[in-house]
């Protein structure tokens, strides 16, 4: 058995206290996570608190919002596992934004890896204390006592005590040293973790109870729309707001000058009414004279990329002697790939509720992935102090990275200060799709040189991506250490930039959603050109390294082999018009491989079945983990079928009639299997996405002989 990787930060510390209610509170914190400006000596900082209540229930305070990634169920499971209580007695309280919690953003699949140690430390420390309390009460050695299902027992004397009877005594005992806690770490240690546990918010979701940001209703609340220029960066010259103000139900209509911050309050017209429908109806009569000076278009991007193709670009990374290796290669394979901009298209369009109080304080009820940066944005925009801003976190109807940006909060803040009543800003679907921070598109030109054995000895990669003022825009950068760096002896990554004014940002598995696609498709082409089996080719490539490799080659090989085995790769005929394709990828700490089976009828392709193998270390909730893999695959497939294009500085797609998300009939059956390794757990929100599209495209090739080198599929003559 391989050793457990110790990620525990020895600077973690614990604090135990007894509340007036009689509840025992165990907090766990890491000072490194807390902003320097909240380091007042008397401020107790904690990443989370575990509270054992006098009625025997357990509450944990969760600092991160829930957006469907399952953290609200997974975290209490970890506490229950370590505290040795029935997990159903554990519930989560959603914390508001509070500097004492340190990082409070969701993104980067970091919830599980960040929470893993703190949750286990807090849960285990609480259990140690309760056992010690019982031992002291009975005058027996703590080592002779056991704790299960919320009860401490001393078998030799037949005594037992429920946790809730031990709270006061536990609070008086010395706090255990974090380093002395023996934490459960391996799947073999777990009794609850790894089981299929349905979500804790299911009942509310399934009965339609208020839960999401847009579900909030406050007394006297008004509803707002905010009309911005369809052309990015456009500003209002003037608007017929007097006329708008006279329309039914409308209480306010005014121009907002806005700022030049593309991630902040942009110029627009606010319309506020008694109901949202009246605000949006009034918007149909809105006439705005827009000042625009931007004219980005997708066709210009394409022309520019074509010009850059012929240039050498900036070398971002290299190893060996690429040119000499190409000169000695016995075979050369070249291919160019393209993918477009795409939108996040959260099912819940952006919205936020705010109340500006007479005291000058501003309270939010926000579906945001990043409340701390929102607070800073609002403070800057309104010119008010951060400590006057209070942010309550609401369940999020889909994050995918979109809600790391918070301009909708700056908008509602400005409106709330104007109207001085609670106000809910609700974007339309069109607002949402036309004012996104898109995943940028890119072009990738690949050239591989093979030796006589069909092994890649040279790899040249020209990445033509998007930039502004000579720097890659958000979400458009590629690490020179990304595989196949380290897997090929002679390697070169070159980069060229197409200038853009379009706002871009992180989009689920930033970058990887596209990089997995280009690499895994091109490797298939190389394998085919070399006359080698795509699985054997990849396993062979992973069997050796040249310098530093950013992946664990063994783990990547293992998921590939497992997915292939499940699919019967190489051992069964799939029949005419059908094909199997595979892909593997690593990002955000996890390894995911898919084998996909498709059926083709001319250019029409149906993705029938997916065999998935995943190594994310020990997973917490079998249901949540599987759901992320199933959904991540669907998202990858869906997105490969979509694009956002630009004409004259505006997005052309606005709703689900021209941005057609995958529907149920296009979604495959998915069979997921996990490798329960002893590595530290990773998150799983992002890793399942990247290998989906390339596995599908490789299967399309196997079925039809068509290489999908341009996305969406329609650009390669394929329809789903």
Partner 1 sequence: MSNVTLKINGQSVSIDVPSDMPLLWALRDKLNLTGTKYGCGIGECGTCTVLVDGRPVKSCLRTAERMDGREITTIEGISEDASHPVQVAWHEEDVPQCGYCQGGQILAAIALLEENPNPDDAAIDKAMADNLCRCGTYHRIRKAIKRAARYAAETGGES
Q: Which residues bind partner 1 (CB under 8 A)?
A: 67-70, 196-199, 201-203, 205-212, 214-215, 217, 223, 248-249, 274-278, 281, 345-349, 395-400, 426, 428-429, 623-624, 627-628, 630-635, 638, 655-657, 661-665, 667-670
State which residue, 468 or 667, has the beta carbon closest to partner 1: 667
Convert 17-83 into a string of H (helix), E (strand) and C (coil): EECCCCCEEEEEECHHHCCHHHCCCCCCCCCEEEEECCCCCEEEEECCCCCCCCHHHHHHHHHHHHH
User: Contacts for 255-262 with beta carbons within 8 Å, 24 or more apart?
Assistant: 256/226, 256/411, 256/414, 256/415, 259/381, 261/377, 262/232, 262/233, 262/503
In angstroms, what is the minimal distance from the CB of 309 to partner 1?
35
Query: To the nearest whole angstrom, how small is the minimum distance from the Cβ of residue 613 to partner 1?
Result: 17
User: Which is closer to partner 1, CB of 306 or CB of 658?
Assistant: 658
CB 574 within 8 A of CB 580: yes
Closer residue to partner 1 in complex, CB, 395/588: 395
For 373-420, the DSSP string reads: HHHHHHHHHHT--GGGEEEEE-B-S--TTGGG--HHHHHHHHHHHHH-
In terms of CB distance, is 207 or 571 closer to partner 1? 207
Q: Minimal distance in Å, beta carbon 372 to partner 1?
A: 22
Of 124 and 428, the one with the shorter C-beta distance to partner 1 is 428
Q: Which two tokens stand for residue 388?
A: 């006057």
Give the strand order in the sheet containing 145-148.
Answer: 145-148, 151-154, 159-162
Nearer to partner 1, 428 or 682 (CB): 428
Q: Is the dihedral of CA 287, 289, 292, 296 positive or negative?
A: positive
| Residue 82 or 396 with smaller CB distance to partner 1 | 396
- Name the minimum Å distance from CB 97 to partner 1: 20
The residues with which 19 forms a beta bridge, in sequence order, are none
Q: Residue 326 has which token pair? A: 């190409």
- Cβ 351 to partner 1 shortest distance, Å: 9
Q: Is 276 helix (H, G, I), strand (E, B) or coil?
A: helix
Closest separation in Å from C-beta 570 to partner 1: 26
Between residues 12 and 278, which has the closer beta carbon with respect to partner 1? 278
Residue number, 76 or 624, with CB nearest to partner 1: 624
> Which of residues 44 and 656 has its CB atom nearest to partner 1 in the complex?
656
Using CA atoms, how far apart are residues 690 and 696, in angstroms rounded to an integer?
Answer: 11
Q: Which residues are within 8 A (CB) of 453 and not within 5 positions of it... i.e. 6 or more apart?
A: none
- Shortest distance in whole angstroms from residue 217 CB to partner 1: 5
Nearer to partner 1, 65 or 102 (CB): 65
Q: How far is the CB of 313 from partner 1 (least distance, A)?
A: 36
Q: How far apart are CA 365 and CA 379, in angstroms?
A: 16
**Beta-strand pair 362-366/389-393:** parallel
Q: Is-contact 360 385, C-beta < 8 A?
A: no
State the nearest-atom distance from the C-beta of 464 to partner 1, in Å: 30
Q: What's the token pair of residue 161?
A: 């005590």
From the CB of 427, what's the least distance to partner 1, in Å? Answer: 10
Query: Which residues make Cβ contacts (< 8 Å) with residue 374, sequence separation at least 6?
Result: 364, 366, 368, 391, 406, 409
Minimum CB–partner distance for residue 80 and partner 1 (Å): 17
Q: Rounded CA gap, 482 and 549, in Å?
A: 8
């Amino acid at each position: 058995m391989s050793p457990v990787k110790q990620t525990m930060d020895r600077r973690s510390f614990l604090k135990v206290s007894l509340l007036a209610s009689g509840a025992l509170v165990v907090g766990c914190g890491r000072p490194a996570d807390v902003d320097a400006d909240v380091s007042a000596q008397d401020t107790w900082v904690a990443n989370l608190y575990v509270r054992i209540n006098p009625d025997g229930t357990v509450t944990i305070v969760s600092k991160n919002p829930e957006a469907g990634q399952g953290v609200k169920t997974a975290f209490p499971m970890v506490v229950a596992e370590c505290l040795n209580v029935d997990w159903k007695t554990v519930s989560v309280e959603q914390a508001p934004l509070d500097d004492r919690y340190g990082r409070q953003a969701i993104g980067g699949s970091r919830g599980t890896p960040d929470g893993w140690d703190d949750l286990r430390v807090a849960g285990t420390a609480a259990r140690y204390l309760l056992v010690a309390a019982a031992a002291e009460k009975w005058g027996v050695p703590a080592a002779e006592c056991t704790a299960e299902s919320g009860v401490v027992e001393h078998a030799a004397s037949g005594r037992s005590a429920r946790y809730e009877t031990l709270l006061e005594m536990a609070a008086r005992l010395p706090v255990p040293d974090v380093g002395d806690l023996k934490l459960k770490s391996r799947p073999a240690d777990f009794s609850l973790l790894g089981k299929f546990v349905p979500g804790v918010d299911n009942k509310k979701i399934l009965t339609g109870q208020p839960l999401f940001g847009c579900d909030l209703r406050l007394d006297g609340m008004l509803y707002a729309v905010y009309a911005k220029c369809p052309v990015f960066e456009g500003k209002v010259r003037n608007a017929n707001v007097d006329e708008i103000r006279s329309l039914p139900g409308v209480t306010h209509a005014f121009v907002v000058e806005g700022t030049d911050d593309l991630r902040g309050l942009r110029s627009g017209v606010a319309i506020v009414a008694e109901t949202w429908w009246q605000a949006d109806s009034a918007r149909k009569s809105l006439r705005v004279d827009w000042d625009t000076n931007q004219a980005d278009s997708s066709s210009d991007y394409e022309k520019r990329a074509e010009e850059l193709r012929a240039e050498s670009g900036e070398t971002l990374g290299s190893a060996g002697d690429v040119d000499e290796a190409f000169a000695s290669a016995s075979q050369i394979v070249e291919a160019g790939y393209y993918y477009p901009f795409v939108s996040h298209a959260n099912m819940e369009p952006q919205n936020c509720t705010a109340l500006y109080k007479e005291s000058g304080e501003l309270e939010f009820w926000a579906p945001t992935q990043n409340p701390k940066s929102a607070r800073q944005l609002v403070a800057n925009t309104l010119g008010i102090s951060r400590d006057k801003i209070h942010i309550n976190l609401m369940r999020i109807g889909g994050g995918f990275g979109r809600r790391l940006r918070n301009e909708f909060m700056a908008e509602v803040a400005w409106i709330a200060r104007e109207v001085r009543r609670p106000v809910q800003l609700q974007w339309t679907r069109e607002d949402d799709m036309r004012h996104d921070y898109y995943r940028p598109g890119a072009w990738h030109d690949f050239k591989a040189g093979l030796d006589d054995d069909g092994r890649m000895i040279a790899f040249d990669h020209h990445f033509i991506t998007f930039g502004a003022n000579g720097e890659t825009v958000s979400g458009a950068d590629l690490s020179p250490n990304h595989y196949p760096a380290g897997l090929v002896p002679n390697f070169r990554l070159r980069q060229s930039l197409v200038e853009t004014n379009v706002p871009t940002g992180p989009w689920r598995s930033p970058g990887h959603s596209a990089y997995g696609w280009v690499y895994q498709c091109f490797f298939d082409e190389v394998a085919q050109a070399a006359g080698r089996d795509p699985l054997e080719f990849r396993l062979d490539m992973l069997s050796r390294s040249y310098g530093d490799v950013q992946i664990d080659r063994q783990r990547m090989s293992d998921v590939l082999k497992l997915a292939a085995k499940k699919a019967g790769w190489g051992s069964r005929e799939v029949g005419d018009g059908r094909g199997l394709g595979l892909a593997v990828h690593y990002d955000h700490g996890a390894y995911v491989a898919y084998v996909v089976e498709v059926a083709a009828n001319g250019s029409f392709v149906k993705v029938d079945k997916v065999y998935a193998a995943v190594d994310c270390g020990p997973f917490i909730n079998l249901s949540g983990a599987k759901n992320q893999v199933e959904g991540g695959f669907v998202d990858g497939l869906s997105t490969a079928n979509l694009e956002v294009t630009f004409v004259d500085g505006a997005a052309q797609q606005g709703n689900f009639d021209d941005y057609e998300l995958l529907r149920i009939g296009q979604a495959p059956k998915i069979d997921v299997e996990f490798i329960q390794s002893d590595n530290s757990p990773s998150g799983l929100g992002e890793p399942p996405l990247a290998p989906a599209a390339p596995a599908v495209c490789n299967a399309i090739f196997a079925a039809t002989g068509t290489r999908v080198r341009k996305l969406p599929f329609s650009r390669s003559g394929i329809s789903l």
